[in-house]
Every structure is written in structure tokens, then in C-alpha cells.
Chain A
């Protein structure tokens, strides 16, 4: 189960602006999904090691040599707002200036 306040908290963490209706709907849907997910509680998982990767790999290394990367103008060309040298964003805490 998840309540309305938790949904609002998680939405803030995820940087999603939800309307009141969406918070309402999301609370119901997430509760139903989490209820299904919580069936895992039926299992005895005492002492089981968690799996984070299914293929056994060790120390995937490469030579530490420089190689070409994307030129700056290519990296910037898909940005919604860019200057010649970087991405332009509004002030982090201010009222919309750049």
C-alpha cells in the first residue's frame, strides 16, 4: 500500500509534476501493483544472495589511451537551448532568468 503523501514525496524525488487527479489515480494504481509485488513475501529468502548481474564478468578493462569523442558542436546540436559552449538552463533557484 502507498498513500497520497508518499506518492507526492516520490513524485518530488522523481522530478514529476503530477496534477491532483493524477496523484489520486497513481495512488490507486501503485497500491494495486505493489500488492501484487508483495507476494514475494510468501517466499523464504533467508540467506539468499541477491543477483545483480547474470553473466560472470571480472575486471572488464581497456587500455587507458585517449581516443576521439563527439565534437562539442555535435553534442550540443540536439539541445533544446544551447550556446556555443554549453547547455543553457534557467537559474536553479531563481525566477526563470538565464
Chain B
């Protein structure tokens, strides 16, 4: 049994299918692993054992699961047990993957280090004095540490890909609309997308294949036309890769070196590499930090101490609202509600929100032009390796810069995957591959070929 921890989700599924081990045994094995977590990756671990044809999946706290604590990492929803289940989680269950546990996250998915969790920070299994990234930090840490076989998270500006990079696992953000957002506690609705965090690219494709599809409960969901084929490519002949961002200020030299080595690997596999320009992508962060907070300020208006969650304050109704929201939301969430409310307020709308939506158009056009020349755009996932716990908490803007390379893709709605490409100072470096909308099968095929050639080894286990 103990060898299960070394296997991918797909390999475990194969053992279950072959009758070598039962779904219940696999579930029990992972439940014990999850219960032994010492990194703060879990907020809740399953109590019952539904078995299943696939190993169980660790689920970010913000996915609603009926009867299971689902607080989005926030004090304001502490103890909330939803009366319904997110479509993505239901589809995983239907496919044979039960819910292993709920993973820690930055509150309402706002953060890049998991330090904004209302409950506790998460430690990076590569170095427990460092952050796992965020906001899906618990999911990334659990997969890297071998306390989950695979996991799901959500990505709004990089919240699946950046923690995957910092923890040395695969993180996929699908095309906007590929997976239903029904039952995902909302942050920024025009950007949010569910995505898998896994040990390898094949597992990511497998979970995406299970979750994708149109859902009547989310009218923005369309699924992936043609579905998802599991990746098999071992060569990159004929594929063209456009490189962006390796000369950017603020990019760690060690991260740049690991990414350059990966470009060499692409060429060895027969792929062509060229520099490309995305003239407006550098302004992605500015647009993102208007659009995402603006949408968040509207989405989070529902937490008012009336229908669910905590209530605070004595006095009249306004006092109840104001006290509940002040006491229930953490600092970063209040900061973003403030930015968003300001950006949408009378007299400022055009200067901020209107302008940001125009920058978004420019970024969409930049990618469209790039994909006329190349098949994929590649960049570092994060400008640095995992940073120290506490290092950026006092400087919100420095924290935001962690998302520099990951925000342009959700602004354009396109898919991107981060794969581990090497180490810098003993810590994992993520390499990001982005493709046109709905190109997941092709993009994951390329990621698979590269992953096989890189041969990245996971976190050393004692």
C-alpha cells in the first residue's frame, strides 16, 4: 500500500481497475495521509469512505460540498455547510473520485502566499519556512507533500499555476468556460476558473476531462469542444513556441536560467523557439488589480450577516452589516473590496474600470496576434521561487507582483499550464505554457512531451 504515494492518480486508478487494490483501501490510505498533514494544508478531512474507481481528490475550501465545511478560508463563513455541491466536485464524484478533504487557501482566493487564510498559513513542503504560493496553496502543498494524490483549486490571476510552480507540481488553468463555476464561492466572475493540481500532466488532463462540460447552472460554461484526449506526445516536432518575459525586470536570475534550459529542451525535442512580444501584457497587473477587486466588491456584498455565515454587532441593520463585514473579512479582502468599490464609484468608473476593460481588449489582441505566429506562448510561471513566510505580508503591492506572468492569460480567457522545470537553490521553478482558447488537448500534449524530457523529481521524502 505505501507505494501508492509514489504513483500518479492515473496509475492508482489502473491498480484499482486491475483489482490489485480496492477503491476503499485507496481512499483509506489517502485519508490517513491527509490526517497526518503537518503543513496546514487541510482545513477538513473526510470522515466517511465512499471508495471509488479513482483515488480521492483534495478540494480547495471554496468549493461548496453539501454538508461539508466550505468557508473559502474566511472567518465570515466559518462553519458554513452548504446545502448543495459544486458541479465540478459532483462530476469528479460521478467519475469515481470522492472528496478527500478541504484544503487551505487565501481568504476568498485573494492572495499569492496562502498567508491570507483566516485559519492558518500553509508551509511549503520543500522548505517549511517558505510559502506554498496561493491562493490554492493548500492544494499545491498537499499534492507536493504526498498527502493528496491530486487536488483541485481555482485560478483567477494565477491561483492554481503559481502555487503549483512554488511547490513543484503541475497546475492547469483551463479556458474560461471549460468547467462550470456553479458552487465555486465567487471572487471575480469574469476570471475565475477551476483547475487541477497534480503530480503530472496526464493526471491534470484526466481531471479536466472529468470536470469540463456545459452546465445549465452556469450560463458562462461551454465545455471543451471535442472533449479532452489524454496526452501521449514525446516529441515537439513542428510546434512553435513564443517566449515572453525572460528579460523582465524583477525576474529572478535563477528562475530565468531554469526557463532558458527548458527552451533548450524544447529545441532538442524538435520544437522551434522564438521571442515574441505581448506589448500590453506588462500592464496586465494594473488591469487585473482593478477588474478583479471590482468584481469581488460586488460578489462579496452578499456577506452581510443575514442569510449565512457569521453575524456581529448590536444596534440597527446598517451597524450589523458594517460590523459583521469588518470583523468577518481579513485585511486583504477588505483592501480589495475598498479598491473595487472605489473603482466602480461614481466619477471614477471610466478612469479605472472602463480603462482596465480596454487594456483587457489589448491583451486579448496581443495573444491573438501571437498565436498567428506560434502555437504556444511560454513564460516563467512565477518571477521567483517560494519566498519566506512573512516576507511580503507587509507590502501588498510586492505580493501582487507574484502574479506578473500569470494574470494576462485569465484576462484573455486562454488556458495555461505550469509544469516544474528544475530547481533553483533547492526550490522548484515553474515553466508556463499557454495556448489559444480551447486548445487544452494540444497544449497538454506539448506539456507532456516536455515533462517526460525534463524528468523532474518531486519533493524529497524522508
**Is A66 an interface residue when CB atoms closer than 8 A count as contact?**
no
B317 partner, pick from A18, A36, A55, A90, beta carbons under 8 A: A90
Given the interface contacts A52-B357, A54-B176, A55-B413, does A78 sit within 8 Å of B80 by beta carbon? yes
Q: Which residues of B contact A26 (CB under 8 A)?
A: 334-335, 338
B338 partner, pick from A30, A41, A42, A52, beta carbons under 8 A: A30
Q: How far is the CA of A81 from the CA of B290 in the complex (A)?
A: 35
Report how many residues on chain A are interfacial, defined by Cβ distance under 8 Å.
56
Least distance between B221 CB and chain A CB atoms (Å): 9
B318 partner, pick from A15, A18, A39, A60, beta carbons under 8 A: A15
Chain A facing B: main interface SS: loop
Asked whether A10 lies within 8 Å of B345 as measured between CB atoms, the reply is yes
Asked whether B283 lies within 8 Å of A89 as measured between CB atoms, the reply is no
Given the interface contacts A62-B216, A94-B316, A96-B314, does A15 sit within 8 Å of B83 by beta carbon? no
Q: How far is the CA of A81 from the CA of B326 in the complex (A)?
A: 19
Q: How far is the CA of A28 from the CA of B280 in the complex (A)?
A: 27
**Is B447 an interface residue when CB atoms closer than 8 A count as contact?**
no
Q: Which residues of B contact A91 (CB under 8 A)?
A: 316-317
Asked whether A10 lies within 8 Å of B342 as measured between CB atoms, the reply is yes
**Is B437 an interface residue when CB atoms closer than 8 A count as contact?**
yes
Q: How far is the CA of A10 from the CA of B316 in the complex (A)?
A: 20
Asked whether B338 lies within 8 Å of A50 as measured between CB atoms, the reply is no
Asked whether B355 lies within 8 Å of A45 as measured between CB atoms, the reply is yes
Asked whether A90 lies within 8 Å of B320 as measured between CB atoms, the reply is yes
Q: Which residues of B contact A24 (CB under 8 A)?
A: none
Given the interface contacts A50-B360, A55-B437, does A93 sit within 8 Å of B316 by beta carbon? yes
Chain B facing A: main interface SS: helix
Asked whether A50 lies within 8 Å of B357 as measured between CB atoms, the reply is yes
Asked whether B315 lies within 8 Å of A87 as measured between CB atoms, the reply is no
Q: Which residues of B contact A93 (CB under 8 A)?
A: 316-317
Contact with A along B300-320 (1 / 0, CB 8 A): 010011111111001111111
Q: How far is the CA of A22 from the CA of B322 in the complex (A)?
A: 14
Contact with A along B174-186 (1 / 0, CB 8 A): 0111000000000
Asked whether A29 lies within 8 Å of B335 as measured between CB atoms, the reply is yes
**Is A85 an interface residue when CB atoms closer than 8 A count as contact?**
no
**Is A95 an interface residue when CB atoms closer than 8 A count as contact?**
yes
Asked whether B361 lies within 8 Å of A48 as measured between CB atoms, the reply is yes
Q: Which residues of B contact A17 (CB under 8 A)?
A: 319, 322-323, 325-326
User: B residues engaging A (CB < 8 A)?
Assistant: 80-84, 175-177, 190, 216, 219-220, 222, 280, 283, 285-287, 289-290, 297, 301, 304-311, 314-323, 325-326, 329, 334-335, 337-339, 341-342, 345, 352, 354-362, 364, 396-397, 400, 411-413, 437
Extra 6 A-B pairs, beta carbons < 8 Å, given A40-B359, A51-B361, A62-B216: A7-B338, A10-B338, A17-B319, A40-B356, A50-B358, A50-B360
Selected A-B contacts with CB under 8 Å, 26 pairs: A14-B297, A14-B338, A16-B338, A22-B334, A30-B335, A30-B342, A33-B289, A33-B400, A36-B289, A36-B400, A37-B286, A37-B356, A39-B283, A43-B359, A49-B361, A50-B354, A52-B190, A53-B190, A55-B175, A60-B219, A60-B220, A62-B216, A78-B81, A78-B307, A80-B310, A92-B316
